[in-house]
Amino acid sequence: MAEDYEPVPLLDEERDSEKGAWKRRLSLEALYRTRPVRRVVQHWVWIGHAVLLSISITLFALAFCMRYARPSDLVITKQVSTYLGDMMISEDEVKRLGLPLNSLKITDPKTGKVGYRAAIEVFHQLHCLNLLRQFTWKEYYLDEDGDINYDEEDVRGHVDHCLETLRMNLMCQADIGVFTFKLYPELGDDDPWPDFSTLHTCRNFEDIRNWARSRAVTWDDNA
């Protein structure tokens, strides 16, 4: 049997509550229709994405910059493999480079030709950089097969030599790239930070390494 329903009048407080809800809704709609607020509401999602992306990029950059500074077996392998040691150049190349002809001679084990023992500066500099990295984590690398696992006086002399080598190279090359500073309020820091993501034109490091590797020699190859 069908039931009959009759409207029940709202209590005064319910009526006032409903009127208040409608007023709030109309007020919000009117506020949204104003151009500045509408623009912000429409784009707040993208603003949020931009802030999160900035934070992610900043944290990624910090992690990227720090990854080669920490002690790690993977880093050891990568950096040691970067230091290729010595190679051989011909007498003509020695003359062209203006190097002394009384330098140490070696025999190419593949061809039997006699040339001169040589090395490329960048690999020595990377070796020095790796030594300084190991020196800052001395407790870790004293138990490893590294460059600081020697007499303390010898290690101190090696470190001083590398510091001076890197200083001279930095001042000689004198990178004149210009960088600016930025504020990152989304990180809760009011201090300006340098923005090192500047454009550089670089040599192809892999090509250099492959060229040096193709001429690599050992200490047993001395003439």
Torsion of CA 51, 52, 55, 61, to 10 degrees: -120
The residue written with tokens 């210009």 in the block is 178
What's the average model confidence in pLDDT over 194-216?
Answer: 91
Q: Is residue 108 part of a domain?
A: yes
Residue 119 within any structural domain of the chain: yes
Whether the Cβ atoms of residue 106 and residue 115 lie closer than 8 Å to each other: yes
> Considering the domain boundaries, does residue 93 fall inside one?
yes
* 41-57 average pLDDT score: 51
Question: Whole-angstrom Cα distance, residue 84 to residue 72?
Answer: 20
One-letter amino acid for residue 119 of the chain: A
Q: What is the 3-state secondary structure (H, E, C) of the chain?
A: CCCCCCCCCCCHHHHHHHHHHHHHHHHHHHHHHCHHHHHHHHHHHHHHHHHHHHHHHHHHHHHHHHCCCCCCHHHHHHHHHHCCCCEEECHHHHHHHCCCCCCCEEECCCCCCEEEEECCHHHHHHHHHHHHHHHHCHHHHCCCCCCCCCCHHHHHHHHHHHHHHHHHHHHHHCCCCCCEEEEEHHHCEEEEEEECCCCCCCCCHHHHHHHHHHCECCHHHEC
Beta pairing class for 87-89 and 114-118: antiparallel
- pLDDT at site 162: 96
pLDDT digits (tens, 9 = 90+) for 163-192: 999 999 999 999 999 999 999 888 888 899
Identify the band that residue 193 occupies on the pLDDT scale cut at 50, 70 and 90: very high
pTM: 0.63
Please answer whether residues 116 and 95 qualify as being in contact, where contact means their C-beta atoms are separated by less than 8 angstroms: no
Confidence of residue 6 (pLDDT cuts 50, 70, 90): very low
Average pLDDT in the chain: 76
Residues of the domain holding 91: 73-175+203-214
How many domains is the chain partitioned into structurally? Answer: 1
Assess whether pLDDT exceeds 50 at residue 77.
yes
Decide if 10 is inside a domain.
no
Does residue 198 belong to any structural domain of this protein? no
Integer Cα distance of 99 and 90 in angstroms? 11
Higher pLDDT: 132 or 53? It is 132
Please calculate the CA angle 122-114-221 and round it to the nearest 5 degrees: 65
Q: Return the sign of the alpha-carbon dihedral for residues 213, 214, 219, 222.
A: negative
In a domain, 130, yes or no: yes
Residue 84 · residue 212 · CB < 8 Å: yes
Q: Is residue 97 in a domain?
A: yes
